[in-house]
Amino acid sequence: MALRVPDQYVGGLAKFLRLPDESADKLLVALEQTPVSPEPKEILREKLSSLSIVPETDVNDIADTIMSLYFVCAHSDESPSDLASEITQAINESPSEHLKLPDEIRPGIQSRLTRLLNIDSFAVSVKAESYLYEYDNVFSKAHISTDIRPIFGVNPEQPPKVATVNHMMNIHYYHDGDHKELYLALDAFDLDSLRNVLDRAALKAEALKQVLDAAGLERIGPE
């Protein structure tokens, strides 16, 4: 059964396929010359903008669509050519007015999609990016607020004689694409423990980088 083109990508796909052959070739050559990167979408946007082959208002639509095609390819057992054939069939069977392409364009659709999906460095970049965040909960950012809490005695009218220093950690993260927050109370011992855990993780990361270097594997992702 052929794939169905999701509604949110119909417009971007039509804009990509309607690119003149010369413009599409410029884009594909630029992507073929792009090394593996942890930020493939940003590179794609930059290429579309710098090559001046589409209006700026179309850059995001086309970039989102191409990224979605690579994402499907990265998680498919089919070859790029077979997947391109299925996408072409889906386009031909789509009821969308956007995908009612001129007859002179249709013969080149499958070959253009096949060439796009065969760009190995970009396909690896998209797959690597998806693996970086393929977890139930993905960290976004954290903030720690510190305050003093005075401890009053039996008579609340008397000034406090002691106080505690408290920390509240606010962790932002994503769960299934939704933004979530978690609050944790910390004391001085907790801060030391957290610092030790982070330092140990950094040391292990450095050791594993040496293993990758020795194996000749290029690292991808934030350093």
Asked whether the beta carbons of 16 and 62 are under 8 A apart, the reply is yes
**What is the arithmetic mean of pLDDT over 47-73?**
90
Q: Which two tokens stand for residue 188?
A: 């001085």
- pLDDT at residue number 203: 95
Percent of residues, the chain, with pLDDT higher than 70:
98
Asked whether the beta carbons of 27 and 48 are under 8 A apart, the reply is yes
- pLDDT at residue number 173: 94
pTM here is 0.67
- The average confidence (pLDDT) of the chain is 89
CA distances for 139 relative to 113, 127, 173, 178, angstroms: 35, 19, 4, 12
Q: Which two tokens stand for residue 204?
A: 């292990």
Domain extent listing, the chain: 7-132, 137-215
Q: Where is pLDDT greater, at 41 or 222? A: 41
The confidence band for 71, taking pLDDT boundaries of 50, 70 and 90, is confident
2 pLDDT exceeds 60? Answer: no
**What is the arithmetic mean of pLDDT over 147-152?**
93
1 pLDDT exceeds 70? Answer: no
Token pair 């884009």 is found at 27
d(CA 111, CA 180): 43
Q: Which two tokens stand for residue 48?
A: 């579309």
pLDDT tens-digit readout, 111-139: 999 999 999 888 888 888 777 777 888 89
